[in-house]
Structure 1
Amino acid sequence: MVCLTPAAAALLLLVVVLAAAVSALPAINVTTMAFEDGYAPLFGHGNILRSADHRTVSLLLDRSTGSGFISSSMYQHGFFSASIKLPSDYTAGVVVAFYASNGDVFEKRHDELDFEFLGNIRGKPWRVQTNVYGNGSVGRGREERYVLPFDPTTEFHRYSILWTPAAVAFYVDDVPVREVRQSAAMGGDFPSKPMSVYATVWDASTWATAGGRYRVNYRYGPFVASFTDLALLGCRVDGPIQQTTAERCAAAAEALRASDVAVMTVEKQQAMRRFRERNMVYSYCYDTLRYPAAFPECDVVESERRRFKDTGHLRFALRRRMSPRRSHGRAASRDRVRELKKRAADM
């Protein structure tokens, strides 16, 4: 039996309490679906590979095309979620996106909620960008960018978008990383019209990595992004969108707003603050060169503002939290594609 001094016992108790606080957030439990129960191919059909049970979908980007899929219905508010594993090795210029949009229906006044995963040169981490557009407000992009506290290429991690009449929230695994609350000051900039859900992988060489300095190098392709644990929760809107949509979906929206995933508890707020302090590397709220007047939803924190340049970028780069990617990633990517194609052929 080990006897602890009072000081050591107090320290051990503190460690236990802190560990409990870190793991205090409940897991997000939602019903997942097979691909065809909620989605359909969008483009690059030959580069979309499904697992034998149709619950995992891999999107490929090669020299010929990227690929993507779209939800079979539009949704008036909802919770949209997928576990994603990103391409490894040299991924400069590659963008993987999981997002909600109605750009195909409302071309000049569309809404959009984005997770954009921005590839990088070998040895540099993937960066994750979130964005919120409302009513065609593309000239007022609300980008925030983060590095992740894990390697998103080695295993699946869940990324979720929550959209209610009151707020938009982005989750990484069970942790909220960003919340934008609706307000009268935001006006039409807050998304309000039914949206479809998309997943895509594509060549964004002109801007994605160092402003286009590093382009996609197809010698490292094909680039494979895999999606599983697909979840779509919300009021489905099928057929022509009518003025009664909001009224018909009001009850479902209120139920979603009151659900466990939507209630921003103190524990969630604390976890979100920790994530942002440790991982956020750009925020439009601190980009005074681009936006001299602060956005109404921005809660500018002076201690946080001092950490960012007037361009909105973090003054000091975050330390790398994962081991460097290895040069065998190209061969591993090709082996993974061969295995996925073999599984598809055996169906």
Structure 2
Amino acid sequence: MRTSHMKLFFFIFLFHSFLFLVLSSSSRNFPVIPFDEGYSPLFGDHNLIIHSDSKTVHLSLDESSGSGFATHDIYLHGYFSASIKLPSDYTAGVVVAFYLSNGDMYEKNHDEIDFEFLGHIRGKDWRVQTNVYGNGSTHIGREERYGLWFDPSEDFHQYSILWTDTKIIFYVDDVPIREIKKTASMGGDFPSKPMTLYSTIWDASTWATNGGKYKVNYKYAPYIAEFSDFVLHGCAVDPIEHVTNCDSVQTSETVPSDVTQVERNKMDNFRLKHMTYSYCYDKTRYKVPLPECVIDSREAERLIKSDPVTFGNGRHRRGKRHHHQAKEAASF
């Protein structure tokens, strides 16, 4: 009897160990799909090149157009990932975006989860921005911006979004860089409706690089972004009935639901070293932080030192920040 109990205990231990590994797994453990199995061209077809093996796609921007692609299906929650190599050299004003949105279905109350790469000028780093909108809350920006510890134009790097009913986690090369937990105070601002996954490249000269100071210079065109290692690991939704094709048990066993302590340490370290902007500390924009903000004294001190006007109590004229209308106009 004792032996059988020990066997049972050992089996349970192994199962939970296996489940822990699955839940904390990276995109390498999820199936990579060919482009044409999950995606279709969206706009700028002449600037979209699909390699013959359907594993890599080039999106380019020139004076005639940007370009983009989108998933065949819409999804309610999941893990979405791609390896991206950004355009090199002078790329001011050029935005490469990897994001979830339902703006085509919900024009006035859409949701969105964004990775946006904001271009760069020589001698400066590329910046990446994350943002979320829920229920059309585009008047409330929840942006964060970061530098990167590598040059994203030299090689492919993996960018991933985990979206569940309680949290959103952004990853760069399997390092979580931001976690957004759903709180009661956020209300409908947390994305909750089915969304399509998009990838686009477009001209955002009016705001992207130093608030629009540096614009796209088409003598360096075409600007080419490369995509590969496509992962679509989510619950596809019937567009009419809005019924998912997978149950919650299957999803919970295959999609990571949290960050491990090791990953959390990496995230804290990344944010300490590389975060350059967070809406939670922007005192020129929000006199009182939004209710879901948890103020970290280390972050506050560092950001105030880097930009005392924005993050202190100084006066500052901010540029217009309604670029998503431009992105959606280009995308849909």
Corresponding letter in the other structure for 2:115: F
1:317-340: per-residue Cα shift (whole Å, max 9, x none)? Answer: xxxxxxxxxxxxxxxxxxxxxxxx
1:198 aligns with 2:198: yes
Match of 1:251 in 2: 247
Match of 2:8 in 1: none
1:121 to partner: Cα distance: 1.2
Secondary structure class of the residue paired with 1:139 = coil
Q: Separation in 2 of the partners of 1:27 and 1:116? A: 21
1:95-131: per-residue Cα shift (whole Å, max 9, x none)? Answer: 0000000001001100000000010111111100000
Match of 1:103 in 2: 103
Q: Separation in 2 of the partners of 1:81 and 1:64? A: 29
1:266 to partner: Cα distance: 1.1
Secondary structure class of the residue paired with 1:107 = coil
Q: Separation in 1 of the partners of 2:172 and 2:118? A: 16
CA contact (8 A) 1:76 1:249 kept: no
Corresponding letter in the other structure for 1:273: D
Indicate which of 297, 300, 316 corresponds to 1:302. 297
Q: Separation in 1 of the partners of 2:139 and 2:245? A: 30
Corresponding letter in the other structure for 1:152: P
Match of 2:319 in 1: none
Match of 2:182 in 1: 182
CA contact (8 A) 1:166 1:257 kept: no
TM-score (norm 1): 0.79
- Calculate the aligned-residue CA RMSD, in Å: 1.8
Match of 2:263 in 1: 268
Match of 1:127 in 2: 127
1:258 to partner: Cα distance: 5.3
1:229 aligns with 2:229: yes
Q: Separation in 2 of the partners of 1:181 and 1:255? A: 22
1:262 to partner: Cα distance: 2.4
Secondary structure class of the residue paired with 1:273 = helix
Match of 2:5 in 1: none
**Aligned pairs, number:** 285
Where does structure 2 lack aligned partners over 5 or more consecutive residues? 1-23, 313-332
1:281 aligns with 2:280: no
Secondary structure class of the residue paired with 1:263 = coil
Where does structure 1 lack aligned partners over 5 or more consecutive residues? 1-24, 315-347
Closer/same/farther in 2, CA of residues 262 and 31 from structure 1, 3 Å limit:
same
1:313 to partner: Cα distance: 6.1
Secondary structure class of the residue paired with 1:140 = coil
Secondary structure class of the residue paired with 1:110 = coil
Match of 1:73 in 2: 73
TM-score (norm 2): 0.82
Match of 2:140 in 1: 140
